[in-house]
Structure 1
Amino acid sequence: MATASVSQSVPATTPAKYDVKDLTLADVGHERIVWAERDMPVLREIRARFEAEKPLNGLRMSACLHVTAETANLARTLKAGGADLVLVASNPLSTQDDVAAALVRDFGVAVYAIKGEDEHSYYRHIAAALRHLPNVTMDDGADLVSAMIFIALGRMDDLHPEVRAWAATLSTEARAKLVSDVVASMEETTTGVIRLRAMEKDGVLKLPVLAVNDAETKHLFDNRYGTGQSTIDGIVRATDMLISGRRIVVVGYGWCGKGVAMRARGMGGLVTVVETNPIRALEAAMDGFDVRDAKSAAAIGDLFVTVTGNMHALRGEHFALMKDGAMICNSGHFNVELALDQLKEQSTEIKRVRQFVEEYQLKNGRKLYVLGEGRLINLAAAHGHPASVMDMSFAAQALATEWALKNKGRLGHTVHNVPKEVDEYVATLKLQTMGITLETLTPEQKKYLESWEMGT
């Protein structure tokens, strides 16, 4: 879809350029944004302060995130703080088109995102975010930062053609400046942090990064409770299956895997966990789950959910062992967790049998069903994490951005943790909105915790 231009019927808040499916969807999107806002009191409070103080005034920001109603409220907060924001999708299937339209029409955000966009559109939108020449970036998977790093390194062949075409118009100096002008980048997800730490290890990370994913108010809640609930939601919406009594195989027992396993068991599922890490495998076993290797699990599973952050968690050798009618999905950030090319090689026919469900007819006579094209099932087939949990994640995003600006020039080109004071502030505000009060340490207790003399 070509980038649209402003029409006379569009309110003055509409940015000069954008690429969304249909602006007439904005009324529904606006309702959803406002509804989500009800359950995001921490972010509301931060937005009110940002509106008054303008800590992001004059800042050019490019965000590559899932374009959802919850993200829309983060975008509103950033704009309230004075940021000039461009928002693009971090996954081809995660955009909510009505929300994207409302952000453009009603809130003046330049959005480049369409649900179901093909690879060329996806990277054309990444290029739009780069053309904004941001001072701060936000990523969910590190696609934006990795493109900037490739450009700065002159590794043009590693860029998608849509990004390469734009980068080729830049001088060597401008390519370097694209990265050097970035004060910091915020990374939202586990997969992105893994990629960024790999960049740091290889010595190619040329900007400071704050690992928002690793903040306690993010991964302990968003990854566990958000992913757990929304993954099951996406599976049920896509299939109408009953979880109770089914053998659910959860591949990966990080915080996301813990959440999926917990929710599946809570709905009566018989949960098996597959892990490569001995500590996590032991933890899963002591949490009461059946734990086994992938080949053993492949033969018994009714539903498979990958949440590893790694490629080919399920591959040809596993597909060949799966029972007729088994369903396969992914809730990790990238669809590389499923080796779908290998599944295709084992198949004689692939057809869509319902929205978000593709049937693979295998040469061995069995049928397997892949949900959501192997992409994030909680966003492909459902609405992603509930607003209440994203309230904390996006509050941490906004405050981490403010903190990075206050520390401009003092942050090394490494992956940094979100400051403890930011984490504790977000948690404290969240507790207040929930009507929960904390116990206060007495002077005697404080002294005891700070001393070493007193023993038994």
Structure 2
Amino acid sequence: MKSTIEKSVIRDIALAPEGHLKIDWVNAHMPVLNRIREQFEKEQPFKGLKVAISLHLEAKTAYLAKVVQAGGADVTICGSNPLSTQDDVCAALVEDGITVFAKYNPDPKEYKELLIKTLETEPDLIIDDGGDLVTILHSERKDLLKNIRGGAEETTTGILRLKSLEKEGQLQFPMVAVNDAFCKYLFDNRYGTGQSVWDGINRTTNLVVAGKTVVVVGYGWCGKGVAMRAKGLGANVIVTEVDAIKAVEAYMDGFAVMPMLEAAKVGDYFVTVTGNRDVIRGEHYKVMKDGAILSNAGHFDVEVNKVELEELSVSKRTVRRNIEEYTMKDGRKFYVLAEGRLVNLAAGDGHPAEIMDMTFALQAMSLKYVNDNYKQIGNKVVNVPYELDEQVARFKLASLGIGIDSLTEEQKSYLDSWAEH
């Protein structure tokens, strides 16, 4: 039998020592996942099963893979974004007995091949990010569906794709919508995205945010976090939205709200967080200020329309790592960060370890849940059971040394009663 080194496709196994240090660091700051690892080591919920994972392949994801492996699984992992993969982390995982198909910045053809190689291991369970594995399984590689019991999805974008498949009656196995869990969107999407986006922007540009105008495109949970952190950095914040309720919420949170065409005229920084395409496009470039900085925090690199930007520009050059400068015919210059890909991961290290601790705990527990219940669930998208969500929160509180109250029996009875109070 081939070793994981022989089976894997990575950049360089010699990079492993640095990768081990990164994984050790996050391990020390992920107490919830450590607690679940202890349970998995005792219970072996995935013994004899193959698990395929497609996530942003950096240290925190690597530790999730090791936790699933500790539960008895034969784990194969690939990256969910070509610019977020860290080659040293890949090498470290291979040394730890996990098969890896991932490299930093492969060309589009190789990137797709690495996804397919991951699925060709014929997994029983999957963890997906953005729906890439699921899409391949339901289109060009239906032959690999036979062993799939189900899986878990990380993102809003992926869940939208899954629900489209379910609506059309095409979904072939159950998937747990991890993104919709309380301990995901309240903390990961809001606090994680809020901090990591600005980590990525600030380390890439080395420019001040205070006093500048930041346009946040989309006011979902990720947009809320980005806007909140921008305000904390001293920016003037504008929110653009297509949802009237979210627009009112942004207004009551103290932010200016206006159409994108108006915001485009005054913004210094633009951050897209919609999960949709072309939210910044040709008509907006025509009115933007010289020096505007464009970044994306949505899963796919389609929110900032780069095709129309190139059509309107007369030149393009890389002026700093992860910054491309586009010069317009009238001399205005715009700067796109990380090729319009996820700025917090393509130009940073992603969410803080303590935040991903909760999200990846949900992933691990959801994977066990779907494995235990896939026959009863059927071929549909389901939410994380509330008791799992609450258990993650309780583990988190315990790791912080925080206790909370419990209802008395009289209080429970009072809340359950329909009679006059």
TM exceeding 0.5? yes
Is 2:185 aligned against 1:195? no
Indicate conservation of the 8 Å contact 1:187/1:211, yes or no: yes
Partner AA of 1:372 in structure 2: A
CA–CA distance in 2 between the matches of 1:366 and 1:348?
A: 10
CA–CA distance in 2 between the matches of 1:238 and 1:400?
A: 35
Aligned pairs for 1:52-63 (under 5 A) are 52-63=42-53
CA–CA distance in 1 between the matches of 2:47 and 2:61?
A: 20
* Pairwise CA distance, 1:428: 0.5
Partner in structure 2 of residue 127 of structure 1: 116
Indicate conservation of the 8 Å contact 1:180/1:206, yes or no: no
Q: 1:337 aligns with which of 303, 325, 340?
A: 303
Indicate conservation of the 8 Å contact 1:448/1:454, yes or no: no
Is 2:258 aligned against 1:292? yes
Q: 2:137 aligns with which of 131, 134, 148?
A: 148
* Pairwise CA distance, 1:16: 3.3
Partner in structure 2 of residue 325 of structure 1: 291
Is 2:402 aligned against 1:436? yes
CA–CA distance in 2 between the matches of 1:49 and 1:445?
A: 33
Aligned pairs for 1:146-185 (under 5 A) are 146-151=135-140, 167=141, 175-176=142-143, 178-185=144-151
Share of identical aligned residues, percent? Answer: 50
Structure 2 unaligned regions, length at least 5: none
Partner in structure 2 of residue 34 of structure 1: 24
Q: 1:210 aligns with which of 176, 182, 203?
A: 176
Partner in structure 2 of residue 228 of structure 1: 194
CA–CA distance in 1 between the matches of 2:381 and 2:112?
A: 25
Q: 1:21 aligns with which of 1, 4, 11?
A: 11
Aligned pairs for 1:419-430 (under 5 A) are 419-430=385-396
Partner in structure 2 of residue 9 of structure 1: none
Aligned pairs for 1:354-433 (under 5 A) are 354-433=320-399
Is 2:93 aligned against 1:103? yes
CA–CA distance in 2 between the matches of 1:418 and 1:34?
A: 28
* Pairwise CA distance, 1:181: 2.2
CA–CA distance in 1 between the matches of 2:168 and 2:327?
A: 42
Indicate conservation of the 8 Å contact 1:230/1:383, yes or no: yes
Indicate conservation of the 8 Å contact 2:271/2:296, yes or no: yes
Q: 2:125 aligns with which of 111, 136, 140?
A: 136
* Pairwise CA distance, 1:365: 1.8
CA–CA distance in 1 between the matches of 2:134 and 2:395?
A: 31
CA–CA distance in 1 between the matches of 2:374 and 2:266?
A: 53
* Pairwise CA distance, 1:207: 1.2
Partner AA of 1:104 in structure 2: V
* Pairwise CA distance, 1:15: 4.3
Structure 1 unaligned regions, length at least 5: 7-11, 152-166, 168-174
Indicate conservation of the 8 Å contact 1:313/1:338, yes or no: yes
3-state SS of paired residue (1:409): helix
CA–CA distance in 1 between the matches of 2:72 and 2:233?
A: 45
Partner in structure 2 of residue 68 of structure 1: 58
* Pairwise CA distance, 1:454: 2.9
- Cα-to-partner distance string for 1:324-344 (whole Å, 9 max, x where unaligned): 000000000000111100000
Partner AA of 1:269 in structure 2: A
3-state SS of paired residue (2:351): coil
Partner in structure 1 of residue 281 of structure 2: 315
Aligned pairs for 1:262-273 (under 5 A) are 262-273=228-239
Name segments (4+ residues, structure 1) moved above 3 Å: none
* Pairwise CA distance, 1:258: 0.4
CA–CA distance in 1 between the matches of 2:350 and 2:107?
A: 20
3-state SS of paired residue (1:343): helix
Q: 1:258 aligns with which of 224, 227, 240?
A: 224
* Pairwise CA distance, 1:253: 0.4
Alignment RMSD: 1.3
CA–CA distance in 2 between the matches of 1:211 and 1:364?
A: 47
3-state SS of paired residue (2:404): coil
CA–CA distance in 1 between the matches of 2:397 and 2:107?
A: 42
3-state SS of paired residue (1:221): helix
- Cα-to-partner distance string for 1:65-110 (whole Å, 9 max, x where unaligned): 10011001100101000111110010010111111111112x1111
Partner in structure 2 of residue 157 of structure 1: none
- Cα-to-partner distance string for 1:415-438 (whole Å, 9 max, x where unaligned): 100111110111110010011101
3-state SS of paired residue (2:100): strand
* Pairwise CA distance, 1:233: 0.3
Indicate conservation of the 8 Å contact 2:175/2:370, yes or no: no
CA–CA distance in 2 between the matches of 1:339 and 1:358?
A: 14
Indicate conservation of the 8 Å contact 2:50/2:122, yes or no: yes
Partner in structure 2 of residue 90 of structure 1: 80
- Cα-to-partner distance string for 1:232-262 (whole Å, 9 max, x where unaligned): 0000011001111110000000000000000
Indicate conservation of the 8 Å contact 1:392/1:430, yes or no: yes
Partner in structure 2 of residue 278 of structure 1: 244
* TM-score of the two chains, using structure 1 as the length reference: 0.91
3-state SS of paired residue (2:145): helix
Partner AA of 2:214 in structure 1: I
Aligned residues: 421
